[in-house]
Structure 1
Amino acid sequence: MTQPLRFAVIGQPIAHSLSPTIHAAFARQRGIVLEYTAIEAGPEALAETLERFDGHGANITLPHKVAAFGLCASTTERARRARAVNTLTRTAEGWEGDNTDGSGLVRDLTERRRLDLRGRRVLLLGAGGAAQGVAPLLLDAGIDEMVVVNRSPERADALCSALGDPARAHSRYWDDLRGLGDFEMIVNATSAGRATGQFDIPFSLPSPRCLAVDLSYGEAAVPFLAWARAAGCVDVVDGLGMLVEQAADSFARWHGVRPDTEAVYAMLRAREDALVTAD
Protein backbone atom coordinates (compact mmCIF):
# COMPACT_ATOMS: atom_id res chain seq x y z
CA MET A 1 0.00 0.00 0.00
CA THR A 2 1.35 3.42 -0.98
CA GLN A 3 2.33 5.52 2.01
CA PRO A 4 0.81 9.00 1.84
CA LEU A 5 3.11 11.97 1.42
CA ARG A 6 2.98 14.07 4.59
CA PHE A 7 2.42 17.82 4.69
CA ALA A 8 1.19 20.34 7.26
CA VAL A 9 0.28 23.95 7.87
CA ILE A 10 1.94 25.47 10.94
CA GLY A 11 0.73 28.59 12.74
CA GLN A 12 -1.03 30.04 15.77
CA PRO A 13 -4.00 30.02 15.91
CA ILE A 14 -4.52 27.25 13.37
CA ALA A 15 -7.88 25.54 14.06
CA HIS A 16 -9.65 27.80 11.53
CA SER A 17 -7.23 27.02 8.68
CA LEU A 18 -8.75 25.97 5.35
CA SER A 19 -5.41 24.68 4.05
CA PRO A 20 -6.09 20.98 4.88
CA THR A 21 -9.40 21.17 3.00
CA ILE A 22 -7.80 22.91 0.02
CA HIS A 23 -4.88 20.51 -0.34
CA ALA A 24 -7.13 17.46 0.09
CA ALA A 25 -9.30 18.76 -2.77
CA PHE A 26 -6.25 19.41 -4.96
CA ALA A 27 -4.94 15.90 -4.24
CA ARG A 28 -8.25 14.29 -5.24
CA GLN A 29 -8.12 16.16 -8.55
CA ARG A 30 -4.66 14.85 -9.37
CA GLY A 31 -4.96 11.36 -7.89
CA ILE A 32 -2.25 12.03 -5.31
CA VAL A 33 -2.28 10.28 -1.95
CA LEU A 34 -1.27 12.65 0.82
CA GLU A 35 -1.76 13.46 4.47
CA TYR A 36 -2.10 17.16 5.30
CA THR A 37 -2.60 18.26 8.89
CA ALA A 38 -2.74 21.49 10.89
CA ILE A 39 -0.11 21.97 13.61
CA GLU A 40 -0.47 24.60 16.33
CA ALA A 41 2.86 26.13 17.38
CA GLY A 42 3.68 29.34 19.19
CA PRO A 43 6.64 31.52 18.22
CA GLU A 44 8.91 29.94 20.82
CA ALA A 45 8.15 26.44 19.49
CA LEU A 46 8.52 26.96 15.73
CA ALA A 47 12.12 25.75 15.39
CA GLU A 48 11.46 22.63 17.46
CA THR A 49 8.21 21.93 15.59
CA LEU A 50 9.96 22.06 12.22
CA GLU A 51 12.79 19.88 13.52
CA ARG A 52 10.33 17.23 14.74
CA PHE A 53 8.10 17.30 11.65
CA ASP A 54 9.25 14.58 9.24
CA GLY A 55 6.97 15.42 6.32
CA HIS A 56 7.79 16.38 2.75
CA GLY A 57 6.65 19.99 2.99
CA ALA A 58 4.83 22.55 5.09
CA ASN A 59 2.92 25.76 4.73
CA ILE A 60 3.74 28.52 7.22
CA THR A 61 1.11 30.99 8.32
CA LEU A 62 0.83 33.74 10.92
CA PRO A 63 2.76 34.61 12.96
CA HIS A 64 5.75 32.62 11.65
CA LYS A 65 6.48 33.72 8.09
CA VAL A 66 9.41 35.97 8.94
CA ALA A 67 10.88 33.66 11.59
CA ALA A 68 10.65 30.63 9.28
CA PHE A 69 12.75 32.46 6.71
CA GLY A 70 15.67 32.37 9.12
CA LEU A 71 15.30 28.62 9.68
CA CYS A 72 15.70 27.66 6.01
CA ALA A 73 18.82 26.02 4.61
CA SER A 74 18.06 27.66 1.24
CA THR A 75 15.47 30.04 -0.20
CA THR A 76 14.04 30.96 -3.58
CA GLU A 77 14.53 34.38 -5.11
CA ARG A 78 11.00 35.52 -4.30
CA ALA A 79 11.41 34.39 -0.67
CA ARG A 80 14.62 36.39 -0.45
CA ARG A 81 12.87 39.45 -1.86
CA ALA A 82 10.09 39.07 0.70
CA ARG A 83 12.38 38.06 3.58
CA ALA A 84 9.50 35.77 4.59
CA VAL A 85 8.34 32.28 3.63
CA ASN A 86 5.00 30.50 3.50
CA THR A 87 6.11 27.27 1.77
CA LEU A 88 8.79 24.83 2.93
CA THR A 89 10.08 21.89 0.91
CA ARG A 90 12.34 19.26 2.44
CA THR A 91 15.69 18.81 0.68
CA ALA A 92 18.83 16.83 1.51
CA GLU A 93 20.33 19.99 3.01
CA GLY A 94 17.26 20.98 5.03
CA TRP A 95 14.20 23.14 4.42
CA GLU A 96 13.98 25.19 1.24
CA GLY A 97 11.78 28.26 1.70
CA ASP A 98 9.55 29.87 -0.91
CA ASN A 99 6.85 32.54 -0.79
CA THR A 100 3.71 32.10 -2.89
CA ASP A 101 1.59 34.80 -1.21
CA GLY A 102 2.35 37.51 -3.77
CA SER A 103 1.87 35.29 -6.80
CA GLY A 104 -1.39 34.03 -5.28
CA LEU A 105 -2.72 37.55 -4.73
CA VAL A 106 -1.79 38.80 -8.19
CA ARG A 107 -3.23 35.71 -9.88
CA ASP A 108 -6.52 36.09 -7.99
CA LEU A 109 -6.84 39.77 -8.88
CA THR A 110 -5.66 39.72 -12.49
CA GLU A 111 -6.78 36.29 -13.73
CA ARG A 112 -9.86 35.40 -11.68
CA ARG A 113 -11.22 38.93 -11.29
CA ARG A 114 -9.73 40.45 -14.48
CA LEU A 115 -8.52 43.57 -12.67
CA ASP A 116 -5.70 45.63 -14.16
CA LEU A 117 -3.18 46.62 -11.49
CA ARG A 118 -0.94 48.62 -13.78
CA GLY A 119 -0.46 52.30 -13.02
CA ARG A 120 -2.27 52.21 -9.69
CA ARG A 121 -1.18 54.17 -6.64
CA VAL A 122 -1.26 51.60 -3.82
CA LEU A 123 -1.59 51.99 -0.06
CA LEU A 124 -0.25 48.95 1.82
CA LEU A 125 -1.42 48.85 5.43
CA GLY A 126 0.99 46.74 7.47
CA ALA A 127 4.61 45.63 7.13
CA GLY A 128 4.66 42.14 8.68
CA GLY A 129 5.09 38.77 7.02
CA ALA A 130 1.90 38.98 4.95
CA ALA A 131 2.77 42.43 3.62
CA GLN A 132 6.33 41.37 2.91
CA GLY A 133 5.06 38.46 0.82
CA VAL A 134 2.81 40.50 -1.47
CA ALA A 135 4.72 43.78 -1.84
CA PRO A 136 7.38 42.60 -4.34
CA LEU A 137 4.83 40.96 -6.62
CA LEU A 138 2.61 44.05 -6.62
CA LEU A 139 5.59 46.05 -7.84
CA ASP A 140 6.21 43.41 -10.51
CA ALA A 141 2.55 43.70 -11.58
CA GLY A 142 3.22 47.25 -12.73
CA ILE A 143 1.77 49.46 -10.02
CA ASP A 144 2.87 53.08 -10.20
CA GLU A 145 3.61 53.74 -6.52
CA MET A 146 3.37 51.94 -3.17
CA VAL A 147 3.03 53.75 0.15
CA VAL A 148 3.62 51.45 3.13
CA VAL A 149 2.08 52.49 6.45
CA ASN A 150 2.62 50.57 9.68
CA ARG A 151 2.00 51.36 13.34
CA SER A 152 5.68 50.59 13.96
CA PRO A 153 7.26 52.90 11.38
CA GLU A 154 10.62 51.12 11.60
CA ARG A 155 9.09 48.03 10.03
CA ALA A 156 7.61 50.07 7.18
CA ASP A 157 11.03 51.63 6.61
CA ALA A 158 12.67 48.20 6.61
CA LEU A 159 10.15 46.77 4.13
CA CYS A 160 10.60 49.64 1.69
CA SER A 161 14.37 49.41 2.01
CA ALA A 162 14.27 45.67 1.28
CA LEU A 163 12.13 46.22 -1.82
CA GLY A 164 15.01 48.19 -3.35
CA ASP A 165 12.77 50.46 -5.42
CA PRO A 166 12.96 53.91 -3.77
CA ALA A 167 11.35 55.58 -6.79
CA ARG A 168 8.11 53.64 -6.24
CA ALA A 169 8.07 52.31 -2.64
CA HIS A 170 7.84 54.77 0.27
CA SER A 171 7.09 54.45 3.99
CA ARG A 172 4.90 56.81 6.00
CA TYR A 173 3.56 57.03 9.56
CA TRP A 174 0.08 55.78 10.53
CA ASP A 175 -0.75 59.26 11.81
CA ASP A 176 -0.02 60.63 8.32
CA LEU A 177 -2.90 58.73 6.67
CA ARG A 178 -5.19 61.73 6.44
CA GLY A 179 -2.65 63.70 4.41
CA LEU A 180 -1.52 61.04 1.93
CA GLY A 181 -4.01 61.84 -0.84
CA ASP A 182 -6.06 59.14 -2.53
CA PHE A 183 -5.25 55.68 -3.86
CA GLU A 184 -6.46 53.38 -6.64
CA MET A 185 -5.74 50.32 -4.49
CA ILE A 186 -5.71 49.78 -0.71
CA VAL A 187 -4.37 46.50 0.70
CA ASN A 188 -4.98 45.61 4.34
CA ALA A 189 -2.29 43.34 5.77
CA THR A 190 -3.01 44.21 9.42
CA SER A 191 -5.26 42.88 12.18
CA ALA A 192 -6.66 46.36 12.86
CA GLY A 193 -10.35 46.36 13.70
CA ARG A 194 -10.66 42.69 14.59
CA ALA A 195 -10.98 43.29 18.33
CA THR A 196 -13.46 46.17 18.04
CA GLY A 197 -15.22 45.27 14.78
CA GLN A 198 -14.49 48.78 13.49
CA PHE A 199 -11.80 49.76 10.98
CA ASP A 200 -10.96 53.39 11.57
CA ILE A 201 -9.04 55.11 8.76
CA PRO A 202 -10.06 58.19 6.72
CA PHE A 203 -12.78 57.84 4.08
CA SER A 204 -10.74 60.24 1.93
CA LEU A 205 -8.20 57.54 1.02
CA PRO A 206 -10.00 55.74 -1.85
CA SER A 207 -10.01 57.26 -5.33
CA PRO A 208 -13.16 56.96 -7.48
CA ARG A 209 -11.90 53.68 -8.98
CA CYS A 210 -10.36 52.19 -5.85
CA LEU A 211 -9.80 48.45 -5.36
CA ALA A 212 -9.81 47.40 -1.68
CA VAL A 213 -8.22 44.08 -0.72
CA ASP A 214 -8.00 42.39 2.66
CA LEU A 215 -5.42 39.59 2.81
CA SER A 216 -7.61 37.82 5.40
CA TYR A 217 -10.94 36.12 4.81
CA GLY A 218 -14.01 35.25 6.85
CA GLU A 219 -14.74 37.14 10.06
CA ALA A 220 -11.21 38.56 10.20
CA ALA A 221 -11.82 40.52 6.99
CA VAL A 222 -15.25 41.91 7.91
CA PRO A 223 -14.20 45.24 9.53
CA PHE A 224 -11.97 46.35 6.65
CA LEU A 225 -14.40 45.21 3.95
CA ALA A 226 -17.23 47.07 5.69
CA TRP A 227 -15.08 50.20 5.80
CA ALA A 228 -14.20 49.81 2.11
CA ARG A 229 -17.85 49.56 1.05
CA ALA A 230 -18.81 52.53 3.21
CA ALA A 231 -15.92 54.51 1.69
CA GLY A 232 -17.21 53.83 -1.82
CA CYS A 233 -14.54 51.48 -3.12
CA VAL A 234 -15.56 50.09 -6.52
CA ASP A 235 -14.06 46.61 -6.03
CA VAL A 236 -13.95 45.00 -2.57
CA VAL A 237 -12.08 41.70 -2.28
CA ASP A 238 -11.20 39.41 0.62
CA GLY A 239 -8.25 37.03 0.78
CA LEU A 240 -10.04 33.76 0.01
CA GLY A 241 -9.02 33.73 -3.65
CA MET A 242 -5.44 34.55 -2.72
CA LEU A 243 -5.47 31.69 -0.20
CA VAL A 244 -6.53 29.19 -2.86
CA GLU A 245 -4.06 30.48 -5.46
CA GLN A 246 -1.06 30.55 -3.12
CA ALA A 247 -1.97 27.01 -2.02
CA ALA A 248 -2.03 25.92 -5.67
CA ASP A 249 1.46 27.37 -6.17
CA SER A 250 2.68 25.47 -3.10
CA PHE A 251 1.02 22.29 -4.37
CA ALA A 252 2.70 22.69 -7.76
CA ARG A 253 6.07 23.15 -6.10
CA TRP A 254 5.66 19.94 -4.12
CA HIS A 255 4.02 17.73 -6.75
CA GLY A 256 5.12 19.16 -10.10
CA VAL A 257 1.58 19.83 -11.32
CA ARG A 258 -0.71 22.80 -10.70
CA PRO A 259 -4.30 21.95 -9.73
CA ASP A 260 -7.48 23.57 -11.02
CA THR A 261 -8.38 26.30 -8.54
CA GLU A 262 -11.82 27.37 -9.77
CA ALA A 263 -13.80 24.43 -8.39
CA VAL A 264 -12.07 24.65 -5.03
CA TYR A 265 -12.54 28.41 -4.81
CA ALA A 266 -16.24 28.07 -5.71
CA MET A 267 -16.72 25.43 -3.00
CA LEU A 268 -15.07 27.56 -0.32
CA ARG A 269 -16.83 30.75 -1.42
CA ALA A 270 -20.21 29.03 -1.18
CA ARG A 271 -19.29 27.80 2.29
CA GLU A 272 -18.17 31.26 3.43
CA ASP A 273 -21.29 32.90 2.00
CA ALA A 274 -23.48 30.36 3.78
CA LEU A 275 -21.77 31.17 7.09
CA VAL A 276 -22.39 34.89 6.57
CA THR A 277 -26.06 34.22 5.74
CA ALA A 278 -26.42 32.02 8.82
CA ASP A 279 -25.04 34.79 11.01
Structure 2
Amino acid sequence: MMQFTVFGNPIEHSLSPRIHQLFAEQCGKQLDYSRSLTSKQRFAGAVASFFRAGGQGANVTVPFKEQAAELVTHLTPRAARAASVNTLIPLGQGQLAGDTTDGMGLLRDVERLVGAQGLPQRVVIIGAGGAARSVIEPFQEAGCEVYLSNRSAAKVTPLVQRFSALKVLPFEALGHSPSEEFNANFCLINATSASLAGHALPIDDGWFSAGVLTYDMMYGAQLTAFLQQAKRAGAGELADGLGMLVEQAALAFSLWHNGHVPETLPVLHQLRAELSG
Protein backbone atom coordinates (compact mmCIF):
# COMPACT_ATOMS: atom_id res chain seq x y z
CA MET A 1 0.00 0.00 0.00
CA MET A 2 1.28 3.47 -0.86
CA GLN A 3 2.52 5.45 2.15
CA PHE A 4 2.02 9.20 2.55
CA THR A 5 2.16 11.59 5.50
CA VAL A 6 1.90 15.22 6.56
CA PHE A 7 4.58 16.76 8.78
CA GLY A 8 3.51 19.49 11.16
CA ASN A 9 3.36 20.85 14.71
CA PRO A 10 0.56 20.89 15.77
CA ILE A 11 -0.77 18.08 13.60
CA GLU A 12 -3.44 16.15 15.51
CA HIS A 13 -6.34 17.96 13.86
CA SER A 14 -4.98 17.91 10.31
CA LEU A 15 -7.63 17.01 7.73
CA SER A 16 -5.07 15.93 5.14
CA PRO A 17 -5.46 12.17 5.82
CA ARG A 18 -9.23 12.44 5.37
CA ILE A 19 -8.92 14.53 2.22
CA HIS A 20 -6.47 12.19 0.52
CA GLN A 21 -8.54 9.17 1.49
CA LEU A 22 -11.57 10.74 -0.20
CA PHE A 23 -9.47 11.53 -3.27
CA ALA A 24 -8.18 7.95 -3.38
CA GLU A 25 -11.70 6.56 -3.23
CA GLN A 26 -12.62 8.59 -6.31
CA CYS A 27 -10.04 6.81 -8.44
CA GLY A 28 -9.99 3.39 -6.79
CA LYS A 29 -6.57 3.75 -5.17
CA GLN A 30 -5.49 2.37 -1.81
CA LEU A 31 -3.19 4.47 0.32
CA ASP A 32 -2.15 4.98 3.91
CA TYR A 33 -1.88 8.67 4.77
CA SER A 34 -0.67 9.40 8.30
CA ARG A 35 0.13 12.40 10.49
CA SER A 36 3.74 12.98 11.58
CA LEU A 37 4.30 15.23 14.58
CA THR A 38 7.86 16.54 14.70
CA SER A 39 9.94 19.55 15.71
CA LYS A 40 12.27 21.93 13.90
CA GLN A 41 15.24 20.10 15.34
CA ARG A 42 13.97 16.69 14.24
CA PHE A 43 12.26 17.63 10.99
CA ALA A 44 15.10 16.74 8.60
CA GLY A 45 15.65 13.38 10.27
CA ALA A 46 11.93 12.59 10.29
CA VAL A 47 11.67 13.32 6.56
CA ALA A 48 14.71 11.20 5.76
CA SER A 49 13.41 8.28 7.84
CA PHE A 50 9.98 8.41 6.22
CA PHE A 51 11.32 8.23 2.68
CA ARG A 52 13.97 5.64 3.54
CA ALA A 53 11.11 3.45 4.75
CA GLY A 54 9.42 3.69 1.36
CA GLY A 55 7.26 6.80 1.70
CA GLN A 56 5.92 7.94 -1.66
CA GLY A 57 4.99 11.50 -0.87
CA ALA A 58 4.52 13.94 1.98
CA ASN A 59 2.93 17.25 2.74
CA VAL A 60 4.45 19.89 5.00
CA THR A 61 2.49 22.32 7.14
CA VAL A 62 3.28 24.84 9.87
CA PRO A 63 5.94 25.58 10.90
CA PHE A 64 8.14 23.65 8.44
CA LYS A 65 7.44 25.02 4.95
CA GLU A 66 10.49 27.27 4.82
CA GLN A 67 12.68 24.60 6.40
CA ALA A 68 11.48 22.11 3.79
CA ALA A 69 12.54 24.47 1.01
CA GLU A 70 16.08 24.39 2.39
CA LEU A 71 16.04 20.62 2.86
CA VAL A 72 15.12 19.30 -0.59
CA THR A 73 17.61 18.65 -3.37
CA HIS A 74 15.37 20.03 -6.14
CA LEU A 75 12.94 22.97 -6.02
CA THR A 76 10.30 23.78 -8.60
CA PRO A 77 10.62 27.36 -9.88
CA ARG A 78 7.51 28.51 -8.02
CA ALA A 79 8.70 26.93 -4.76
CA ALA A 80 12.12 28.52 -5.20
CA ARG A 81 10.61 31.97 -5.67
CA ALA A 82 8.33 31.52 -2.67
CA ALA A 83 11.08 29.86 -0.58
CA SER A 84 8.30 27.63 0.69
CA VAL A 85 7.49 23.94 0.19
CA ASN A 86 4.34 22.09 1.15
CA THR A 87 4.73 18.99 -1.05
CA LEU A 88 7.63 16.51 -1.09
CA ILE A 89 8.18 14.08 -3.97
CA PRO A 90 10.85 11.35 -3.83
CA LEU A 91 13.14 11.20 -6.86
CA GLY A 92 15.15 8.13 -5.81
CA GLN A 93 18.71 7.77 -4.52
CA GLY A 94 17.94 9.95 -1.50
CA GLN A 95 16.85 12.96 -3.55
CA LEU A 96 13.67 14.93 -2.94
CA ALA A 97 11.78 17.46 -5.02
CA GLY A 98 9.90 20.23 -3.27
CA ASP A 99 6.90 22.10 -4.65
CA THR A 100 4.30 24.49 -3.28
CA THR A 101 0.65 24.04 -4.20
CA ASP A 102 -0.66 26.57 -1.67
CA GLY A 103 -0.83 29.51 -4.04
CA MET A 104 -2.60 27.75 -6.86
CA GLY A 105 -4.89 26.10 -4.30
CA LEU A 106 -5.95 29.48 -2.93
CA LEU A 107 -6.36 30.96 -6.41
CA ARG A 108 -8.64 28.09 -7.45
CA ASP A 109 -10.76 28.50 -4.34
CA VAL A 110 -11.11 32.26 -4.81
CA GLU A 111 -12.07 31.68 -8.45
CA ARG A 112 -14.78 29.30 -7.26
CA LEU A 113 -16.06 31.81 -4.71
CA VAL A 114 -16.22 34.85 -7.00
CA GLY A 115 -17.69 32.86 -9.88
CA ALA A 116 -18.80 34.69 -12.98
CA GLN A 117 -17.91 38.14 -11.64
CA GLY A 118 -14.25 37.20 -12.04
CA LEU A 119 -11.21 37.77 -9.87
CA PRO A 120 -10.91 41.07 -8.03
CA GLN A 121 -8.64 43.73 -9.48
CA ARG A 122 -6.59 43.96 -6.30
CA VAL A 123 -5.59 41.42 -3.67
CA VAL A 124 -4.30 42.48 -0.25
CA ILE A 125 -2.35 39.77 1.58
CA ILE A 126 -1.63 40.22 5.29
CA GLY A 127 1.51 38.34 6.35
CA ALA A 128 4.88 37.50 4.84
CA GLY A 129 5.48 33.89 5.86
CA GLY A 130 5.67 30.85 3.60
CA ALA A 131 1.92 30.70 2.99
CA ALA A 132 1.75 34.38 2.03
CA ARG A 133 4.78 34.18 -0.26
CA SER A 134 3.39 31.19 -2.11
CA VAL A 135 0.24 33.02 -3.22
CA ILE A 136 1.83 36.16 -4.65
CA GLU A 137 2.87 34.74 -8.01
CA PRO A 138 -0.37 32.87 -8.89
CA PHE A 139 -2.49 35.97 -8.33
CA GLN A 140 -0.07 38.16 -10.25
CA GLU A 141 -0.11 35.73 -13.17
CA ALA A 142 -3.92 35.78 -13.04
CA GLY A 143 -3.84 39.54 -13.62
CA CYS A 144 -4.40 40.84 -10.09
CA GLU A 145 -2.49 43.68 -8.46
CA VAL A 146 -1.02 42.16 -5.31
CA TYR A 147 -0.34 44.17 -2.17
CA LEU A 148 1.55 42.76 0.80
CA SER A 149 1.16 44.06 4.34
CA ASN A 150 3.17 42.79 7.30
CA ARG A 151 4.06 43.97 10.80
CA SER A 152 7.77 43.58 10.02
CA ALA A 153 8.65 45.68 6.97
CA ALA A 154 12.06 43.96 6.85
CA LYS A 155 10.37 40.74 5.75
CA VAL A 156 8.60 42.50 2.91
CA THR A 157 11.61 44.21 1.30
CA PRO A 158 13.23 41.07 -0.18
CA LEU A 159 9.87 39.95 -1.56
CA VAL A 160 9.47 43.20 -3.49
CA GLN A 161 12.83 42.44 -5.08
CA ARG A 162 11.83 38.84 -5.83
CA PHE A 163 8.33 39.44 -7.23
CA SER A 164 8.14 42.16 -9.84
CA ALA A 165 5.16 44.51 -9.53
CA LEU A 166 4.49 43.46 -5.92
CA LYS A 167 3.20 46.47 -4.00
CA VAL A 168 3.66 47.24 -0.32
CA LEU A 169 0.82 48.34 1.94
CA PRO A 170 2.23 49.58 5.26
CA PHE A 171 0.75 47.55 8.10
CA GLU A 172 -0.24 50.76 9.88
CA ALA A 173 -2.45 51.67 6.91
CA LEU A 174 -4.78 48.80 7.81
CA GLY A 175 -5.65 50.66 10.99
CA HIS A 176 -7.22 53.47 8.97
CA SER A 177 -9.97 53.59 6.34
CA PRO A 178 -8.82 52.33 2.94
CA SER A 179 -7.90 54.88 0.31
CA GLU A 180 -10.00 55.41 -2.79
CA GLU A 181 -7.89 53.06 -4.92
CA PHE A 182 -9.30 50.19 -2.87
CA ASN A 183 -12.80 50.29 -4.22
CA ALA A 184 -15.25 47.41 -3.97
CA ASN A 185 -13.19 45.29 -6.34
CA PHE A 186 -10.58 43.87 -3.97
CA CYS A 187 -10.03 40.82 -1.80
CA LEU A 188 -8.53 40.87 1.71
CA ILE A 189 -6.61 37.72 2.69
CA ASN A 190 -5.28 36.86 6.14
CA ALA A 191 -2.14 34.75 5.77
CA THR A 192 -0.93 35.28 9.34
CA SER A 193 -1.19 32.75 12.16
CA ALA A 194 -3.23 35.14 14.33
CA SER A 195 -6.39 33.07 13.95
CA LEU A 196 -4.63 29.97 15.30
CA ALA A 197 -4.30 31.79 18.61
CA GLY A 198 -7.71 33.44 18.36
CA HIS A 199 -6.18 36.90 18.03
CA ALA A 200 -7.79 39.79 16.19
CA LEU A 201 -5.77 42.09 13.93
CA PRO A 202 -5.68 45.91 14.17
CA ILE A 203 -7.74 46.53 11.03
CA ASP A 204 -10.19 49.36 10.45
CA ASP A 205 -13.74 48.21 9.73
CA GLY A 206 -13.63 49.95 6.38
CA TRP A 207 -11.28 47.34 4.96
CA PHE A 208 -13.85 44.64 5.61
CA SER A 209 -16.91 46.47 4.36
CA ALA A 210 -15.29 47.76 1.15
CA GLY A 211 -14.06 44.53 -0.40
CA VAL A 212 -15.81 41.78 -2.32
CA LEU A 213 -14.30 38.94 -0.32
CA THR A 214 -12.64 38.53 3.08
CA TYR A 215 -10.61 35.33 3.23
CA ASP A 216 -8.76 33.65 6.12
CA MET A 217 -6.31 30.87 5.26
CA MET A 218 -7.15 29.26 8.60
CA TYR A 219 -10.33 27.22 9.02
CA GLY A 220 -12.44 25.59 11.68
CA ALA A 221 -15.94 24.57 12.72
CA GLN A 222 -16.58 28.18 13.79
CA LEU A 223 -15.63 31.48 12.21
CA THR A 224 -12.02 32.44 12.88
CA ALA A 225 -11.24 35.57 14.90
CA PHE A 226 -10.40 37.38 11.65
CA LEU A 227 -13.70 36.44 10.02
CA GLN A 228 -15.60 37.37 13.17
CA GLN A 229 -14.01 40.82 12.89
CA ALA A 230 -15.09 41.01 9.28
CA LYS A 231 -18.65 39.91 10.00
CA ARG A 232 -19.09 42.49 12.77
CA ALA A 233 -17.79 45.16 10.38
CA GLY A 234 -20.40 44.30 7.76
CA ALA A 235 -18.23 42.41 5.30
CA GLY A 236 -19.97 40.89 2.31
CA GLU A 237 -18.66 37.43 1.49
CA LEU A 238 -16.55 35.56 4.05
CA ALA A 239 -14.48 32.44 3.46
CA ASP A 240 -12.12 30.34 5.52
CA GLY A 241 -9.22 28.26 4.24
CA LEU A 242 -10.96 24.90 3.96
CA GLY A 243 -11.43 25.30 0.22
CA MET A 244 -7.78 26.25 -0.18
CA LEU A 245 -6.78 23.19 1.83
CA VAL A 246 -8.77 20.89 -0.45
CA GLU A 247 -7.56 22.54 -3.66
CA GLN A 248 -3.87 22.49 -2.70
CA ALA A 249 -4.26 18.86 -1.63
CA ALA A 250 -5.72 17.98 -5.03
CA LEU A 251 -2.70 19.50 -6.75
CA ALA A 252 -0.34 17.60 -4.43
CA PHE A 253 -2.29 14.41 -5.15
CA SER A 254 -1.74 14.96 -8.88
CA LEU A 255 2.02 15.29 -8.35
CA TRP A 256 2.09 11.86 -6.70
CA HIS A 257 -0.38 10.11 -9.00
CA ASN A 258 0.71 10.73 -12.58
CA GLY A 259 -1.10 14.01 -13.02
CA HIS A 260 -4.54 12.79 -11.92
CA VAL A 261 -6.40 15.74 -10.41
CA PRO A 262 -9.36 14.58 -8.29
CA GLU A 263 -12.72 16.36 -8.02
CA THR A 264 -12.58 18.85 -5.18
CA LEU A 265 -16.13 20.14 -4.72
CA PRO A 266 -17.62 16.86 -3.39
CA VAL A 267 -14.73 16.57 -0.94
CA LEU A 268 -15.17 20.17 0.22
CA HIS A 269 -18.89 19.62 0.81
CA GLN A 270 -18.18 16.38 2.69
CA LEU A 271 -15.61 18.01 4.97
CA ARG A 272 -17.81 21.02 5.64
CA ALA A 273 -20.63 18.70 6.69
CA GLU A 274 -18.31 16.72 8.95
CA LEU A 275 -16.92 19.87 10.58
CA SER A 276 -20.43 21.15 11.20
CA GLY A 277 -21.08 17.94 13.03
Shared fold per TM-score greater than 0.5: yes
Q: Hey, what does 2:193 align to over in structure 1?
A: 191
Is it true that 1:84 corresponds to 2:87 in the alignment? no
Q: Hey, what does 2:43 align to over in structure 1?
A: 46
What are the Cα deviations for residues 63-104 of structure 1, in whole angstroms up to 9, with x where unaligned? 111110111111112212222111110002511011111111
SS of the equivalent of 1:137 reads helix
Contact 2:109 2:243 in 1 (8 A): yes
Task: Give runs of aligned pairs for residues 2-21 of structure 1, distance below 5 A.
Answer: 4-21=1-18
Q: Give the superposition deviation at 1:198.
A: 3.3
- TM-score with structure 1 setting the length: 0.89
Q: How far, CA to CA, are the matches of 2:134 and 2:58 in structure 1? A: 16
What are the Cα deviations for residues 161-215 of structure 1, in whole angstroms up to 9, with x where unaligned? 221x13xx12243223235524611000012254355343111224634211111
Counterpart amino acid of 2:265?
E
Task: Give runs of aligned pairs for residues 97-136 of structure 1, distance below 5 A.
Answer: 97-111=98-112, 113-114=114-115, 116=117, 118=119, 120-136=121-137
Q: Hey, what does 1:36 align to over in structure 2?
A: 33
Q: Hey, what does 1:233 align to over in structure 2?
A: 235
Gaps of 5+ in 1: 275-279
Is it true that 1:260 corresponds to 2:263 in the alignment? yes
More deviation in 217-226 or 66-75?
217-226
Gaps of 5+ in 2: none
Q: Give the length in aligned residue pairs.
A: 267
Q: Hey, what does 1:277 align to over in structure 2?
A: none
Q: How far, CA to CA, are the matches of 2:240 and 2:151 in structure 1? A: 22
Counterpart amino acid of 1:251?
F
SS of the equivalent of 1:44 reads coil
Q: Give the superposition deviation at 1:107.
A: 1.1
Counterpart amino acid of 1:109?
V
Q: 1:134 to 1:116 in 2, by over 3 A?
A: farther
Q: 1:120 to 1:207 in 2, by over 3 A?
A: farther
Contact 2:8 2:64 in 1 (8 A): yes
SS of the equivalent of 2:41 reads helix
SS of the equivalent of 1:9 reads strand
- Structural RMSD (CA): 2.0
Contact 2:110 2:119 in 1 (8 A): no
Contact 1:193 1:199 in 2 (8 A): no
